[in-house]
Structure 1
Amino acid sequence: MTCRELIYDIERYCPFNEQEEKDKALILNWIKTNDNAFSRENAVAHMTASAWVVNKNRSKVLMVYHNIYHSWSWLGGHADGETDLLAVAIREVKEEAGIRHVQPVSKEIFSLESLTVDGHVKRGCYVSSHLHLNVTYLLEADSEEAVAIKADENSGVAWFTPEEALVKSTEPWFVEHVYAKLLEKMKTI
C-alpha cells in the first residue's frame, strides 16, 4: 500500500466517536505535512499500527504483557518507514505473540487513535515522550494455536474474554478510551 492509498483509506474512514474524528484530522494533517511521519526519527510523532486480535467466535481477545508499560495490552508496533499499516499490524502480531496464522477480519481500518507515549528507557537509551499516530485493524487468529513471548518486548501472551481484557489492563486511559471502544465496535460487525 502506498502512502497515497493509506491517506485515501483514512479519509474515507467513518469515525466512531469524537475522539476518532479529532484524531483522524490530526493523523491526516501529520502524514500530509511530515516527510518522516512513518519513521521513529520523527521524535514528536510517528505512525504506528495496532491489532485487536479476536478468535473466530469473538469470545476471546489476544493480549501481551508489555514490558515498558507493565500492563496487558493490544499488539502492534512502529511503521518504521512502511506505509502498509495492515502488513505492519500482522507482522507485529506474529512477532509479539509467536503465532503464524493471523488474518484480517477486514482490510478496512477498524479504529484510529492519537496515543501519548511517556518518556522511557528502551534498550538502554532514553526515548523522549511523543505521540503514536495509530491505525488499528481487526484481526482473527485461532485461540488454540500455541503462543510465545517476545522477551525483549513482553513477558506474557494470553487470550482473555472481552470482559477480562478490560480488567487485565492497568492503563485506565486505554481501558476507557481504546479497549472499551474496540469491544463496542466489535458488536457492530
Structure 2
Amino acid sequence: MALIDDIRAYEPFNEQEAVDRLAILRALANDPHVFDRSAPAHMACSIWTVDPAKQRTLMVYHNLYDSWSWIGGHADGERDLARVALRELEEETGVAGARLVPSGPGGIFSLEVLTVDGHEKRGRYVGSHLHLNVTYLAVASPEEPLRVKPDENSGVRWVDLDDVCTVSTEPWIVDRIYRKLIGKLAGVAL
C-alpha cells in the first residue's frame, strides 16, 4: 500500500513524530480495520492550510473541542488520505481551490497520534479513541469565500501564525502540534 510506503519513507521532524510514526505503522500492519472509525485506533487526517505568504492559517471553531482548531477528519474506509484531507477542507470551510504542497513522501507534512476523549455526537456516545493522523500541507487564497459546517464547527477564519497558539484552548495540541507545524512551515517553499 502506498500510504504505508510513504509513512515508512517519511523522516520524522522530532521525537514525537518518530514515536508516533512507529505506532501508526504498527496499526497499519496489524489491524485490518484501521481505516474504519469503529477501530479504537483509526486513521484520520488533517490539513494545515496556509495563505501564499505563509503568514496565516485557516482554522475552524470546532464544536466538539470548543476551540479554534485545524481541519481534518476520518478516513472512513478511504485509503487516499490526501484526497480525504482536501475533501474535509472543502466540507468544513468552503475552500475548494486549495492545492497540496509536496513536502514529504506522498505529500505527508506531519504525523501524530491524537487522543480523543469520549463525547456525544448526534445524540450518541462515542467512546475515547485514538486518531492515527497524517497531516498534509495546503496553500489557499484568503479571498475564497468561507462558510461554517454547523454540525462540526461554528466559525471559520484565517488566523495569523503568531496568534495560533493563543486562540486555541487545547494546550497539548498547541505545544506539541501547532508549534511544530509552524516551525516546519519555515523550511517549506510554496
> Shared fold by TM > 0.5?
yes
Q: In the alignment, which of 11, 15, 21 is matched to residue 18 of structure 1?
A: 15
1:149: which partner in 2?
148
Q: Distance in 2 between matches of 1:88 and 1:167?
A: 28
- The alignment-based identity, stated in percent, is 52
Residues 61-72 of structure 1 aligned to structure 2 (within 5 Å): 61-72=57-68
1:187: which partner in 2?
186
Q: In the alignment, which of 79, 82, 89 is matched to residue 83 of structure 1?
A: 79
1:126: which partner in 2?
125
1:27: which partner in 2?
24
Letter in 2 for 1:14: E
1:158: which partner in 2?
157
Letter in 1 for 2:124: C
Q: In the alignment, which of 44, 49, 52 is matched to residue 53 of structure 1?
A: 49
Q: Which runs of 5+ in 2 are unaligned?
A: none
2:111: which partner in 1?
112
TM-score, with length taken from structure 2: 0.96
Q: Any idea what SS the aligned residue of 2:108 has?
A: coil
Q: Distance in 2 between matches of 1:41 and 1:73?
A: 23
Letter in 1 for 2:84: V
Structure 1 residues 63-114: Cα deviation after superposition (integer angstroms, max 9, x where no partner): 0000000000000000000110100100000000011111101152000000
Q: Distance in 2 between matches of 1:181 and 1:49?
A: 16
- What's the CA shift for 1:144? 1.3
Structure 1 residues 32-73: Cα deviation after superposition (integer angstroms, max 9, x where no partner): 10000000121x110001000001111110000000000000
Q: Is 1:37–2:34 an aligned residue pair?
A: yes
Letter in 2 for 1:7: I
Q: Distance in 2 between matches of 1:70 and 1:88?
A: 23
Q: Distance in 1 between matches of 2:182 and 2:165?
A: 9
Q: Any idea what SS the aligned residue of 1:110 has?
A: strand
Q: Which runs of 5+ in 1 are unaligned?
A: none
Moved >4 Å (runs of 4+)? none
Q: Distance in 1 between matches of 2:127 and 2:169?
A: 22
Structure 1 residues 119-173: Cα deviation after superposition (integer angstroms, max 9, x where no partner): 0000000001010000000011101111000000000000011011111100000
Letter in 2 for 1:170: T
TM-score, with length taken from structure 1: 0.97
2:139: which partner in 1?
140
Letter in 2 for 1:123: R
The number of aligned residues is 185
Q: Any idea what SS the aligned residue of 1:40 has?
A: coil
2:88: which partner in 1?
92
